[in-house]
Structure 1
Amino acid sequence: MKKSLVVIGQGYVGLPMALRAAEKGFDVVGLDTNGAVVEALNSGVSHIDDVSDEQLNRGLAGGYRAATDAATIGDADVVVVCVPTPLSADGGPDLRPVEAAARAIGEHVRPGTLVVLESTTYPGTTEEVFTPLVVGDILIPGVDVFIAFSPERIDPGNERFGVQNTPKVVGGLTPECGHRAREFYAEFVDTVVEAKGAKEAEMAKLLENTFRHVNIALVNEMVRFSHELDIDLWDAIECAATKPFGYMAFRPGPGVGGHCIPVDPSYLSHRVKAQLGYAFRMVELAEEINTAAPLYVATRIWQALNERRIAVNGAKVLLVGVTYKANISDRRESPADPLAKRLVELGAELSYYDPYIAEWQVEGASGLHLRSAEDLSAAARDADLVVLLQAHRDIDLKTLAHESTTVLDTRGVMPPGKSVSRL
């Protein structure tokens, strides 16, 4: 008999995992509150970059279906929660989606079910917030219902690592909860690592992303004074990266974006301040530096135009690649937004090119709605300055350098030439 799995949340985390479980023989229901998304999924139309329509249709033929009815939870052997946890106004995670999922589980869950929270949050959430809503006053965690936390590690656009070959960390409220979670994931994930408990698993996720946040801030700070000192920081990084131990290469850019790096460390900072009363200074400094990175890019744009005796007010500036990372259509927290907002404030005539984004409503800039240029070469020739923000694989960097009068390369990937300057 097939094991039954319900995955709550069918976004970039929940959908790939649901399809992988279906591939390994689970009877899977992808539960989502968005009726349009559910209808599209059941029609074989994917809404995320990492799942093709072909993969989705294979899943539909092999045991996957999408639904909006929470009553399906009552038939599940395992329930996994993959709902978003955006930042709230006070800097902590907005747990309302997690709480809603937990209440729905509590209303329908049957004894013996394994329930796993994957949504990123601060340490203690699984035990203090999620579990009470699931078990209520009747069920006992670790006896009637088995509850664990397992941080999502999806990297959108990563063609090398996916659900199967990315090691999975699990931490249970009790040892038995942890063992059951490990056994569940081991059925479709190559490597499963069992943490001491749920808090340790929650902390592991925040540690991973705080590590990246801080080190990106380090090089984003260094690129500023390296430019002033006439040092090619990218060359220095490549040299440092030849050391086979004790060093990991991070590279500067126009800022951080996406669902994790600019958001997750704030959960930990908020928790430390709220519960212990003091600041997590490393995270706060990293956030300050990385948030300022797009404004530094705007300053470099002003300098590049000024060197050619062109005023930024009225200058034609073309932004190339406005998603938060290369080769995906995800624009969450993209540094292109604050950069565009600042350039418009300075009076620049802004345009953009991105093969993944046909239209762009710039966050924070009321009324600024743009359409992607159709011909990159023509747009580059028409611009006073081209700014490379994301080097999508579909963008011919050599042609871009040739067609542009001046390019500001914020990623350090353009071929060298008279028209190209690095951040």
Structure 2
Amino acid sequence: MLNISDNNKTQLQSLDKYKTIQNLSNKVPYKILNRIITLISILGFAILFLPWTQNISGTGAVTTLKPNQRPQSIQSVISGRLEKWYVQEGDFVNKGDTILYISEIKEDYMDPNLVENTKNQVNAKKQSLESYGFKVTTLSNQIQSIKNEQKLKIEQAQNKIKQSVLKIKSDSIDLVAVKTTVKIANTQYNRSLQLNNEGLKPLSDVEEKRLKLQEADAKIITQENKLLTSKNEYINSKVEINRINAEYAEKIAKTQSDQYTALSNQFDTEAQVSKLENQYVNYSIRNGLYYIKAAQSGYINRALQSGIGETIKEGTPIVTIMPAEYDIAVETYVNPIDLPLLSTGTKVRVWFDGWPTIVFSGWPDISYGTFGGKIVAIGNFISPNGRYRVLIAPDQSEAKWPKQLSIGSGAQTIALLKTVPIWFEVWRNLNGFPPNYYTTTTTETNPKK
């Protein structure tokens, strides 16, 4: 202050000079009240330094640890009409027990002998397939026989060619021999004619030589015809080989065509057999689907379909069943701001609806009726309620959870974090900070000597 005004007072005046104050201070009840207020103030200030366990609270319900242990609905794989119920609500069923019998409503499967008729069709097609196999084998043997016959025919034709060649040579030699005979006969005739002119030979001898010459000339023509015939036979033998190749090639091609047709029919029959076998298996399995059975042992909770004679479609839920054996757990939901503080294995305190409980969130040691648990799974995607799902299993190191717990009952959880003074917790809540969010990192240094 600048102390400009004369009325400024640097010290407060004592109130003891007033009578009212003197009277109040002299009365005993007011002295006691002052002492109580002072003690409460001191006690409240001391409480601010007491330890407080930070926590993250959540609400949820009792569930099972494994998905296959949770309540499930049994559905019908095929459409049908309700014919007979074998259970009622509350019954215990073992795995494989029949729950309901339904009858067929589709006209494609109403034949009572459908499976047997399909089996007969499969057997008939298999026999047809075997027949095509035998036909293919027979045609293969026939092709081999034709090839063997072709080989023999060609060898026979080749032998004829060799014979024709040899005959041509023989006829050629005979032709040369005949020409030599003609030449000799001509020489003898000329000599006889000259001797006859000289009077040394008779005319009869000349005529005899002329006759021999004419016979020799006739033999030349005959031998030349034989030679030409032999050459024609040689040419015919070569033509015969080409004819044999063409003839047997046509036979083989026709037989192979029949074989490929048989193979095509065989493959087509194999496809038909596979299709019929598939239908046979499907029909056999469908016959077993008329009896709806329990997938696992458990209790029938509720019948979702009722009555006799009603029709249902495939995939329609029939009943809900609760497994007899399950590992209990709790699913709870936490705020997104608290999610980074949780991790798998974090200790959690759980209390259930209907069980007597006294809970002090900041002092878990003095709480009553809570059970130990630990986090086994944390959701990676936010739930429709705007929170994240956390799955909690019983802590094996603590007391077991009650056996009387039923699936779906309510539960509340507290995840225990760091222990801090109460004044720090009050200050954190007033500022809206999350619990145990800021961590202090300390680095240890090893000084070298």
TM-score if structure 1 supplies the norm length? 0.15
Higher helix share: 2
- TM-score, scaled to structure 2: 0.14
Larger strand percent: 2
**Higher RCO by CA contacts (8 Å cutoff, separation 6 or greater):** 2
Larger Rg: 2
